[in-house]
Amino acid sequence: MTKARSIWMFRKIASVEGWSYIVLLFIAMPLKYWAGMTEIVPLVGMAHGWLFIAYMGALVFASSYGGLSMSRVNWAILASLLPFGTFVHDPYLKREEEVARGDAV
């Protein structure tokens, strides 16, 4: 697998994980507390948990094989903890992917 491909894979997993976090915080939790639909949070929470594990695994893979800097790894960890953080971080990862691919201007 190429460096660019490992970063691309991490970006895709980060996007899905970011959406799962948004769904958990802004759809499932309000439905639990405002509509009494308590069964939704465990389902969405479990999916988000597995996606978070995949996110961290892909981050380790991209950092070791893809050559992400330790600074970029730290930003990725911080981004995973903040709502919308993975989406804000994505353009930086895209630039690293382009550099790894040789497409950077």
Number of residues that make up the chain: 105
Using only C-alpha atoms, what is the Rg of the chain? 15
At residue 1, the pLDDT reads 66
pLDDT per position as a tens digit, 6-46: 999 999 999 999 999 999 999 999 999 999 999 999 999 99
Q: How do the domains of the chain map onto residue ranges? A: 3-101
Q: What is the DSSP code string of the chain?
A: --HHHHHHHHHHHHHHHHHHHHHIIIIIHHHHHHH--TTHHHHHHHHHHHHHHHHHHHHHHHHHTS---HHHHHHHHHHHHSTTHHHHHHHHHHHHHHHHHT---
Contacts of 52 (CB under 8 A, 6+ apart): 17, 80
Average pLDDT value for residue range 35-60: 96
Q: How much is the pTM?
A: 0.90
At residue 81, the pLDDT reads 95
